[in-house]
Structures are given as structure tokens and as C-alpha cells.
Chain A
Amino acid sequence: MDLACEKTWVWIPLPQKFQSPIILKLILGFCWYLLHLMVNLRHMGSSVNDLLFCYIISMGLLLKHQNLRLDKLNSLAVVVDSEEAKNTTKIKQLLCWLSSIGIKYVILYDMHGVLKQTIGTDLESLTNTSMTTCSVVDAKMATSLFHFEKMAIEIISLSDGKEGVAKAASFLYSEHMKDDSEICYRSEPDFTESDVANALKATGSAGAEPDLLLVYGPARCHLGFPAWRLRYTEIVHMGRLRSMKFAAIVKTMHDFSKKHQNYGK
């Protein structure tokens, strides 16, 4: 062996599987790639099918999608990637679509509070006159709850989610100590889910539990939407905000109306 060469040849015994004939290896490799191709074609076909379906829905050719039954949809949440949330034109277009469908309550969420700064400010100026008609109990909620035409819009961010629970924990402790001193003995804290729910309300982090949550963004996750409110929420990833389609929203609403939840029973 020439050790001065940059590359050195080394003899290493093959693992057992490499000892099968080369032709068998080639056949297996071909079968694997054929399977791969079939799966890819299937996915491609599925995407084309979805596009066609969206086109048909938007042309109003499917009767069942024209009259949506939204009695099961009391509130709808929309999670938007914070980068994509800067596209206020698209957000407003989305709100218009949702209003036209007949959604009554929308919760807009992005992690970093971009929507609060952009859409929140715009909506505040548009709906100041209608805010007096809002029947909000919590003053804190009033700053992020707007009435837009016949639709209520709540705008939240990460500070209303995990940070909200931390504030609720602090509130629970204060309340427990208040009770503790009244009872005059040192009992251990014993909280229930109702206690936490009330604490979230008291600290301004409570809100409606959305029945359906639409995720717009590259990642298929809810990006820290308030955990307490997500218990039985249907979560649908809609893709990028810039590629949003009215027909896709209609289809999602229609599919949701067909859902049956048994709540674990």
C-alpha cells in the first residue's frame, strides 16, 4: 500500500447483506425507487385533486358547499406565522372572507404580537364607535376585542398564552393565601380546573375555546396558542398565507360541519 498517496485503500469485510448477488441488489433498488415514484405520483395526484376541488368550489358548482351549516362553529381561531402576519392586506382579506361566510367570532393569533400592532390598530380606528356596544366584562379584553360588521375579532399573542398561565398561577397563590389566613391553618394548595379557569379570567387571559383553528404558515403547529383553550379544537393546516384560497376555507368549514366529536366517550 502506498502511504504517501492522499487516498488509501482499505480492505474491510462486507456486512452480510452486501454479499447477495449484484443483480438482486439492483432489482431491490429498482423496486424501492418504483415504490417511491408511485408514492410521489399519488401525492401529486392528491394535490391536483385539491386544486381542482378548490376551483370547482370557488365557481359555486358544488351545492353542498354553498350553504354551509355553521351551527357547530361558535368561534374560529386563526394562527398566523409572525413573519407572514406582517402582510396586513392578506389578513384583512381573510377577515372579509370569514365575515362573508358568516363566522361570528374570530380569534387571531400570532406569536410575537404583530397582529396586535398592525390589525389591532387599524380595527380600533375603524370600530371605535361600535366598541360601546361590546358587552365585555374584562377591561383588558376590550383592548383586543373588536366588532367588525357582524363579527367579533379577538387578537392575542404568546403573552396571552403561556405567560397568561404563569400570571394565573401567581393569582391562584395569592387567593389561596387569602383563604388560608382566613381559615387560620396552613393547608396545602388544592386547585381545580375551575380555579385555574377563573384565575385566567381574572388576569385577562381567558377567552372562548375555538371549535376550529386554521394555521397559516410554513410550520404545521399551533405556535403557542393558549394551551388552556385548545382542548377539543380541530386544527387544520392551511399552508402559506400568501397562497390562501377562499375555496380552501369553504371546504374546511364544510368538512368541519360533518365532524362528530365523542369527547373521549
Chain B
Amino acid sequence: MLSSLHLNPTLNYATLNYSATLLPLRGSRRRTRRNGANESLVSTAHPARQYPSLSASLAPAREVEERKEEALLPPHLRPESLPRHVAVIMDGNSRWAKARGLPSSAGHEAGYRTLKKMVELSCQWGIRALTVFAFSSENWTRPKMEVDFLMTLFENVLKEGLGEFVREGIRICIIGDSSELPQSLQKLAKEVVDKTKNNTQIDLIVAISYSGRKEITQACQNIAQKVKDGLLEPEDITESHIEEELETNCIPEFPNPDLLIRTSGELRLSNFLLWQSAYTELFFTNTYWPDFGEADYIEALTSFQNRQRRFGQRIN
């Protein structure tokens, strides 16, 4: 454990005071695992062995990576108190554009840039899953021009972003009623999901043509089919069976978001993750989505962290 850090201006190196029993030394691999009960990182270091000297270049690669992640985290955010899964309702693109005298398409494009930044920050800070509400089933009633623009935008994003997703280790899942999407977008979405399925850095779930009620309905339908196939008895149906059939189970480790952020000042879920948000911390901000930046994200994470610290245990 690092107890103090001293700067040595002469040699330009840092000297580290440490207890010999706690610092993992060369040859031992520090592993950390999440404790399911209290979600803290628990160190399972091997018993230390004495070595006469150690330099950072010889430290285990994983420890270097962890130090990098912690160094990238804003100072007052603690990695052990961060949400594992963040959901976002990206609201306010059109209002942002209208406030600037721009067409709504400009708002959606700006919104996409904000999303890119948020994915980047989430990767840097160790958020494991990000679910974003890109297009709801109710959005189909919007003007055709806007809907067509959004479908084109989604296609371009997936097409141009595929290389980056693969490079950055982003695993893409698309949830929602894909049958309503243009054929070209359906095909592209399938391709992107397939090509990124082995990525492990972060899971990015994009909800397109999504409805929380429709998702629950589909789950009931799937369960009825399972009963018909003899895999389940009707009297044995429980809420966990429903949960297994929800689309967010594409990330089985943490399908339910810990934190849900909605921008633009609205205080509702709007048919998004109705089932999954039972114990999700809700954070509403007046900022429009294109203006949602690093500072706003930090504020949301700090709010989540403060609640966790104050009440001692995770809600999930």
C-alpha cells in the first residue's frame, strides 16, 4: 500500500514508502476482484517477496494499466464507488438546435459528438457498460424528414465507427424493435454487433426503436413459447424468468443500470428501461444533451458516489 509519495528533485524520481508485506513486487501478479456484497475492489495480491530494487518499467502490466486508469480518473471519484452500468436518455438535441436557430439535424449531429465523448470518458474511467436511448418507438411519429435523417445518421455512425469500435475494444449491442428499421440499417447493425462481440473494454448498448413496454411484452411472449416447448411450467414463471428474456441481458453480468442520467430537464423515464430501473439511481439535469460534457458527467458520478458513501450499500 502506498502510504506516501516523495518527490526527489535531484534524481527526478519518486521514492515510495511502503510496507513490504503489501506492495506486490516483481514476479507476483496483483489481481483485483469486485466483492459482490459491497462492490469494493478487493486486492488478492500474493505474499510479497523482497527484491533489492524495483522500477516502474518492470511492474506487472496489469498494475501499470490500473495506475493509468486511476490516474485518468478525476481526483475525487473513487473507482470502487463508480457505477458499473450507466444509462443515458439523450434528450434535448432539437431544443438545443432551436435555441441556436439551427435545424434539428444540427442538434442530432452535435448530440452524436457528445455521445462519442461520453463513451471515451466511460472507457477511461472504467465504466463497464453504457446504455443510450437513441430512438424510441414513439419517435416514429416525428416528421419524416427528421426520422430519415436520424436513420441515415445511425447508419453513418455505425459504418464509420466500426473501425474505432474494434480498435478501442467497444462491444456494441443494439436493442429495440429492429424490424421497423430500414433494411440497410438492420444489416449493418447485425454486422457491427457480430464484429464487435468479442470486445471487452466496454459494452455500449444502443436502444433504437425501443419501448420498455414492448420489451416486457416480448419477454412474456418468449416465456410462453418456452412453456409450450416444455422447458418451463406455467406455475413456475417468476420475475427472474422475465428478467432473463429482457434485451439488456446481452450483458448478463450487470443488465440493470446503476445510474440513469436524463438531460434537458425532463423528469421521467419515457418508456426506457422500465423494468431494469427499479433500483437505479436517477439523475436529472437541465443541460441539453449536446452540451452535456465532462463536468456534467463528473457531477452525475459524484452524485451517485455520494449516495453510495452515505448509505453504505449498493441499492442493486
Question: Which chain A residues have a beta carbon within 8 Å of chain B's beta carbons?
Answer: 1, 3, 6-15, 17-19, 22, 32, 36, 161-163, 165-170, 172-174, 176-177, 186, 188-193, 195-196, 199, 218-225, 227-228, 230-237, 261, 263-265
Contact = CB atoms under 8 A, between A and B. Distances in A.
Contacts of B101: none
A1 B221 contact: no
Describe A's contact surface by its main secondary structure.
mixed
B203 interface: no
Contact of A234 (B16, B235, B267): B267
Contacts of B20: 6-8
Contacts of B277: 221-222, 227
Contact of A13 (B13, B235, B271): B13
A221 B138 contact: no
B139 interface: yes
B267 A189 contact: no
Contacts of B235: 170
B9 to A, nearest CB: 8
Contacts of A173: 223-224, 227-228, 234, 237
Contacts of B75: 32
Contact of B307 (A177, A193, A220, A261): A220
A191 B239 contact: no
Contacts of B9: 22
Contacts of B139: 264-265
Interface in B112-130: none
A133 B217 CA distance: 35
A186 B280 CA distance: 40
Describe B's contact surface by its main secondary structure.
mixed
Interface of B: 7, 9, 11-20, 50, 52-57, 71, 75-76, 136-139, 141-142, 212-214, 216-217, 219-221, 223-225, 227-228, 234-235, 237-239, 241-242, 267-271, 274-275, 277-283, 307, 310-311, 315
A170 to B, nearest CB: 5
B275 A191 contact: no
Contacts of A235: 267-269, 282
A132 B77 CA distance: 57
A173 B241 CA distance: 14
A252 to B, nearest CB: 10
Contacts of B234: 170, 173-174
A233 B213 CA distance: 14
Contacts of A221: 277-282, 315
Contacts of A15: 56, 71
Contact of B19 (A7, A167, A230): A7
Contacts of B14: 12-14, 18
Contacts of B221: 172, 189-191
B241 A166 contact: yes
A85 to B, nearest CB: 16
Given A232-B268, A232-B270, A12 B56 contact: yes
A1 B15 CA distance: 13
Given A191-B221, A221-B277, A166 B237 contact: yes
A169 B242 contact: yes
Q: Most A CB atoms within 10 A — which of B238, B241, B278?
A: B278
Nearest to B226: A173
A9 B11 CA distance: 14
Given A11-B53, A11-B55, A12-B16, 17 more contacts: A3-B50, A8-B20, A10-B18, A11-B13, A11-B15, A12-B13, A32-B75, A168-B220, A169-B224, A191-B217, A195-B217, A219-B311, A221-B282, A224-B279, A227-B216, A261-B268, A264-B141
A149 B93 CA distance: 45
A39 B240 CA distance: 42
Contacts of A174: 234
